[in-house]
Structure 1
Amino acid sequence: MSARFGRIPLDRIITEWEDGHPINPRLLAGEVAALLRTAAPADHPIHEAFASAILSAMPGGCAVTHGALVDYFEGAGSGRPPAMITTTTGSVPASAVLVWRQWINRLADEATSRALYVAGRAIPAGDSSNIAMAANASPTASQTEQPPLPSGSEPGYVAMRQREQRREGERRAAEQLEAKDIALQHALSREAAKDAIIATMKAQLQLSREEAEDERRRRIESDRARAELAEQLREHAGIIEFVNPENALSPVEGRRLVAIWCELTENGTVDAATDSGIGVGTLARDWWRKHVGEPSDTEVKRLRWALTWPARKGGGVVARRPRNKG
């Protein structure tokens, strides 16, 4: 049924219900009457925003009581809707009572829920005629031959429905709480995973920092070593060029002298004369003979003078001749 708004004359409500409510309109009228009876005392006036009688012969409006509306819907439920309805200022035609659709529809929806609740529990199994009547169909047997359905507004059924609604509400609340708890656990797990990732990243960052610091220190040490080597090279640049055969200023005899010294002393680590017991002059003569040719006595003297270290020149260790074996 499409939603309708505004007011509707009281005598047209049952007809409008025939167009869309899931239960028999007469049954629904009786259920609405029972619901109104439990909503307020019979003499309690309904607010004019929900129901009021407006007559051209009467200035203003007149209030409709709950009891009068109960009587009207009870009559409609029995198939004899009253043509007149009592108000606080007297009887008026039902067609002159205007009812706010949204208000009466809310009552009809609640009455429908109560009726269907009772039908699902009170109708015996296989009682197709009562089921058809409740479902707004035409039963095979007449309505007078069937026992009337109990009203959904009877205190026992109302209390039963309220208990079930309360249990259903508690069940849904428990499900929602469980769902929230699961969501919270998932959120905590995600947070724990994030914390673990962050901790891992922090550890990796710290390791990277330490490695970077080690690399910085190694670079500093390497730069220092290169600087020292460069300084040493600068200090020995003259010597290097002295023995450089490609340098035109490098003397041949000087290069040979350095070569003799490097070979005999193993680059200044061995005292060849002392270890072998052979004099420097003899060692120099043997080297010269092997690499250059037979030296003259003058050349041997120059070599001995140039290669003999100060301790030997000042009467240091005397060369020894190796003993003959046997």
Structure 2
Amino acid sequence: MGGESIDPLMHASRLAALLRSTSPENQPIHDAYVPALLSGNPAGAGAITFGSLAAYFDEIGQGKSPRTITTLSGCVPASTVTVARTWIGWLATDAAERAAFAAGFVSTANDIPHASLASNAPPAARPGDQPSPPSGSEPGYLKMREAHLRSQGESSAAAQLEFERIARRIAEQTNDQLLTLLAASDRHIDQQREEMEQLCRDLNESNRKCAKLAEQLREHAGIIEFMNPDNPLSPVEGRRGVSAWCELTENGVGIGELVARWWRSHVGEPPGSVVKHLQWMMAWPDRKKGGMVAKRQHQKG
């Protein structure tokens, strides 16, 4: 109850009121909570009711020191009765909470004189009386406290529902963001895969060209060494012959290509039949004797 000092007498009265509001006064309390151990009596004898225990606390609240307590078997010395600490502790906590609730309600109703008394006091109460602070176990306060707790429970449930709704919405948004990131990552991976595949194709093409160049180099290795003037085995006449062939045939251009070039530069694009006819004329068997029209050799006399 915060910094409020606890009056033992008032606290005992509150416990008595709470016990009367908890169960009927003739209801026995389970002996696990309030056993009465009497010398010479069988275990469990002399059960104590809620009403008798409330009466005991009432006397304490009035400043008395009761020496006995009433059981179903009669009065027994109070010193023979024990109360379970956890059980009485729970009752004390509940009594304090009830009193605090009632005190708070009374403080908010000060502008309506005797408002709390009108709803909680017995019929004999009169406006001129000076009653003690309510215990909170009066019927009216109990109803108000139950309504208050029910409202708190509903508010708590509504708040929990709203919290779960917000958490679910956040989870859905997070899931959508993750799905977006995953889709972007998949697209990036696909792009990287395509680029890698293209690099592999380019590398294969480059390797193929390198292999082809190496093959061509091997094919020309012989002629390269043949034309190497630093090679002692390279014949001078052979090198000159190859140079002449390269110059006269434009590095091996055939007669058909030479004919087509000449016709293209002087007449226009030659038909295929013209190229064939000119190629045949240029390759006349007597060409070795002077060209397309053979020049007769004069016999020596």
| TM-score, length basis structure 1 | 0.66
Instruction: Pick which of 253-262 and 201-210 moved more.
Output: 253-262
* 1:32 paired to 2:3: no
| Equivalent residue in structure 1 for 2:285, among 310, 314, 320 | 314
Paired residues, number: 250
Amino acid at match of 1:211: E
Identify the residue that residue 216 of structure 2 maps to in structure 1. 232
| Equivalent residue in structure 2 for 1:209, among 182, 185, 193 | 193
Residue 212 of structure 1, CA deviation? 1.7
Amino acid at match of 2:8: P
SS in 1 for 2:83: strand
**In 2, Cα distance between equivalents of 1:59 and 1:236:** 126
Amino acid at match of 2:31: E
Residue 224 of structure 1, CA deviation? 1.9
Contact 2:284 2:292 in 1 (8 A): no
* 1:83 paired to 2:67: yes
Change in 2 beyond 3 A, CA 1:159/1:107: same
Identify the residue that residue 17 of structure 1 maps to in structure 2. none
Contact 2:282 2:292 in 1 (8 A): no
SS in 1 for 2:131: coil
Contact 2:103 2:133 in 1 (8 A): yes
Identify the residue that residue 235 of structure 2 maps to in structure 1. 251
Q: How does 1:9-88 map to 2 (within 5 A)?
A: 22-60=5-43, 61-88=45-72
Change in 2 beyond 3 A, CA 1:65/1:21: farther
Contact 1:72 1:81 in 2 (8 A): no
Instruction: Pick which of 310-319 and 218-227 moved more.
Output: 310-319
Gaps of 5+ in 1: 1-19, 127-144, 277-308, 320-326
| Equivalent residue in structure 2 for 1:219, among 203, 213, 230 | 203
Amino acid at match of 1:23: I
Q: How does 1:114-153 map to 2 (within 5 A)?
A: 114-123=98-107, 146-153=130-137
**In 2, Cα distance between equivalents of 1:43 and 1:214:** 95
Of structures 1 and 2, the one scoring higher in RCO (CA 8 A, sep 6+) is 1
Identify the residue that residue 94 of structure 1 maps to in structure 2. 78
Change in 2 beyond 3 A, CA 1:158/1:91: same
Contact 1:45 1:64 in 2 (8 A): yes
Residue 263 of structure 1, CA deviation? 4.0
Per-residue Cα deviation, 1:47-106 (whole angstroms, up to 9, x for no partner):
111112222254434211111011112222222353322111111122222111111111
SS in 2 for 1:224: helix
Contact 1:84 1:94 in 2 (8 A): yes
Aligned residues: percent identity?
A: 46
Change in 2 beyond 3 A, CA 1:22/1:170: farther
Amino acid at match of 2:215: E
| TM-score, length basis structure 2 | 0.71
Residue 21 of structure 1, CA deviation? 8.5
CA RMSD of aligned residues (A): 3.2
Change in 2 beyond 3 A, CA 1:315/1:155: farther
Residue 267 of structure 1, CA deviation? 3.3
Change in 2 beyond 3 A, CA 1:246/1:311: farther
Identify the residue that residue 12 of structure 1 maps to in structure 2. none
**In 2, Cα distance between equivalents of 1:73 and 1:165:** 27
SS in 2 for 1:63: coil
Contact 1:122 1:149 in 2 (8 A): no
**In 2, Cα distance between equivalents of 1:315 and 1:77:** 153
Amino acid at match of 1:114: R
Gaps of 5+ in 2: 112-128, 264-279, 294-301
